[in-house]
Structure formats: C-alpha cells, structure tokens
Amino acid sequence: MTDHPGSEELAAFVLGALSDQRMREVVRHLLLPCPPCAALVAEAMQPMVKPEPISEDKYDGALDRALQKALLHEAGHRRRKMEAERLEEILAQGGMNDIPDLPFETDPLALFDALLARSWALRHDDPAQMVHLADLAVKQAQGLDAGEHGARQVADLLCRAWAELGNALRVADRHPEAWRALQLARELFEKGTEDEFLDVRLTELEASLAADRRQFPVALANLTRVYRYYRRTRHPHLAGRTLILKGLYTNYAGEIDEAIQLLRQGRTLLDPKRDLDLHYSAAHNELLCLVDAGRYHEARRLRIERSRELSWGTGRVSEVRLRAVDGRLDVAEGKYARAEEIFREVKRDFLELGRPNHSAVASLDLAEVLLRRGRWVEAKEEALEAVQVFKALNLGPEAYASVILLRECFERRIVTPAVIQEVAGRLRRAEQSLRLL
C-alpha cells in the first residue's frame, strides 16, 4: 500500500472498524513510517481522551496506543491464520471425518477460514466436496455471535461464505443454485462494512458465473472493473489473473486472437511463486486458443518450450485435458493413428473422473479422426453417442442446436471432418471452465 488512506478511513482504523485486509494495509503504511498519516491518527484519537491541549508526549502516547492496538490486531490475525492452516491440514489428511474430533477450543473464525480454504483446494478434483465444505462454512458463519464479532463484520463473513458457496456450485455446474447464492451474497454485502476488497472478489465470482451462462458482455465488464482495482491498488499478480480470465472469456465469445493477446499480457504480470496452478492455466489456455485459431505451429512450439509450465497443472483433470490437446495437434499434423489412441484414452479417463461432458467432446474428436481414416460407421457411432450425452446436459440453446445439426448431417450423410471439428469446438467452449475462481 503506497496511497495515503483518507481521514475517515484512519478514524475507522482507530476504532478497529476496518476489514482485516485493510487493517493490515494501514498498519504497514503507518510503519513505513508516514508522519502525515500518523498525525491524522493522533487527531482521530483526540475524542478518546480528555479535551485538553496535546503535548508532544501525549501526542506520541496517542499514536503509540493506536499502533499498539493495530499491532495487537495484526498479531491476532496471524494467530488465526496459523490455526486455520493447521485445521486445513487436518481436513486435508482426514477429510470430513476429522471435524467432530477438532479441539473444543478451536477458534470459530479459524475454522471458517479453514473450511473455505479446503473447499477452494478441491475445485479441480472434487466439486461435490467443494460444495459441501463451502456449505459448512456458511453454517459456521451463521453460528457466529453478532454481539461478539459485530453485526456488520458477521454480515461480511456471511457474504464471503455465500459467495464461495455460489462459486463452488458454479464449478459443480449447478448454475441456478449458484446464481441464487451469489445474489444472497450481494444482499449481505450491502448489510456489511461494504469492504472494497470483498466487493471485488464478489464481482469476480459474478463474472465467472455470467461467463458460464454465456453472458460474455456482463462478464467482461465486471472483469474490467476488477482489473482497474488491482492496477490502482498495485497488485500486479491479481491484475494478471484478471487479464487471464478476460482472455478466457474473450475466447469463449469467439475473439480468439484478442484472447491470445490478453492471456500473454496477463502471464507477464504473474508471480509463479504465488500460484503455480494459475501459471499453468495461463499457458494451457494460450495453447488451447492457438489450436482453436489453427495456429498449430505456434501451438506445438509452445507445447515444447513450456512443457514444464504445462506440467504444473494440479489434478488428474488437468493432465487429461492436456493430453486431449496433444491429440488435436496430432490430427493437425496428420498423425491419425496416434490421435485415435489418445482420444480413446481421454474419453475413458474423463468418464472415470466423472466428467461426461468432457468425455463426450473426446468422442467427437475421436469421430473426426475415424472419419478421416475412412471408418464412417464407427465415426457415426461415436458422434451419436456424444449427441445423446449433450442432449441430456443443460448447455444452452447454442450447444443444443449444434448437436442437433451434427445428428442431421450424419443422417443425411453429408458430414465432414470440418463439420465435426466445428461442432466439437462450439461444445468445448460451452463446457470449458477455467477453475481459477
């Protein structure tokens, strides 16, 4: 934090009414040191002491008391963070069975943080458990005493919990429930401290749900606002993450070349030490965009040059997705036998992982290869199997129209590899979801 907080914010700081995040930022700013802001803190302390002329000693004492209060707040936050990390480790090792055995004296706020952290960690591999843990965090926040923690502060915690539950429901493809959860989170935000950082996080999650629902103008407008906040507050890593999300949604909207530029720009702002998974996602989605754009030579070069970055992805789903890209590159290079083998493996692996939509896209990729190899009957079987899967899923009118078109093309025997490739691309964009949020 380098911008000076305003006098009203410093007054709230003295009263301990700022969010945890902002409290820490103000502490760091005062300890730079910053004499002008220190003077404002001392001025804000005046109503708390007798109204008499303030000597230099009393001025220093008032400032010392304010800083001491802030440092105690910081120490409390560190203790809560350490306990939350310990509880998260317990949850990771023993799962939900260990919750009843947690120490009786567990800090309720630390448990709240641990539940949300563990929920977030499962976004790649276990969406159902991600939802369950976020739901437990909501219940944990609902049990907090407003008299002890402050009514507006509890509203903030409830807002955060419902927002993360909404995001977990989104990841689990339960979009109507996700929308209701995020709507409730927004209502709770207005009852809380209206912390700007919490507002930005909620706006990010609203953007992701809007993108999943194909509302790309809404999603991109929200992310533009988020990006400006992170640039203004000098958070380059988070600004880079936002550009990567914008690149992903721009690709979904069909502007592939612009998406590639956004992804590359975002990657330059990232700090790999902070989030290897994010660094992987940036490289992986740039690779996908290059393949979608038909820029196969660039895609193959990126695949080779950034093999280490692309291997950073967490979870089996990421590995299988990358394998699917390898198959598409093999098709582009005419290596049909190897591509067929890859797509059969990818189809099977996605089914084992409980991702029928991803598996169905692999079936279409496989159908394209079989058609190129002159095996029309097998290609039709694979494609119609995928059509049945997609008809059962709620992917929206565009995706539904695509699968019906593909079925008609097969029935009329006018299907070509290009037709299958186009339909697979539309469905891939419809079901793809970057699990950054």
pLDDT recorded at residue 125:
76
Spatial separation of the C-alpha atoms in residues 312 and 324, rounded to whole Å: 16
46-94 residue pLDDT tens: 554 444 454 555 555 555 555 555 554 555 567 778 888 888 888 888 6
Distances (CA, A) of 61 to 38, 111, 295: 12, 36, 66
Is the model more confident about 9 or about 247?
A: 247
Residue from 354, 356, 358, 435 nearest 122 by CA: 435
For residue 100, pLDDT over 50 is answered with: yes
> CA 326 to CA 320: how far, in whole Å?
10
Question: Which pLDDT belongs to residue 49?
Answer: 45
C-alpha dist (Å) from residue 157 to 104, 108, 121, 161, 368: 22, 12, 19, 6, 50
Distance between CA atoms of 370 and 358, rounded to whole angstroms? 19
d(CA 161, CA 140): 9
pLDDT at 50: 46
Whether omega for the bond prior to residue 33 falls within 30 degrees of 0, making it cis, is yes
Who has greater pLDDT, 66 or 130? 130
- The C-alpha atoms of residue 306 and residue 319 are separated, in whole angstroms, by 15
| Stronger pLDDT, 34 or 231, i.e. the higher one | 231
Mean pLDDT for 423-434 is 69
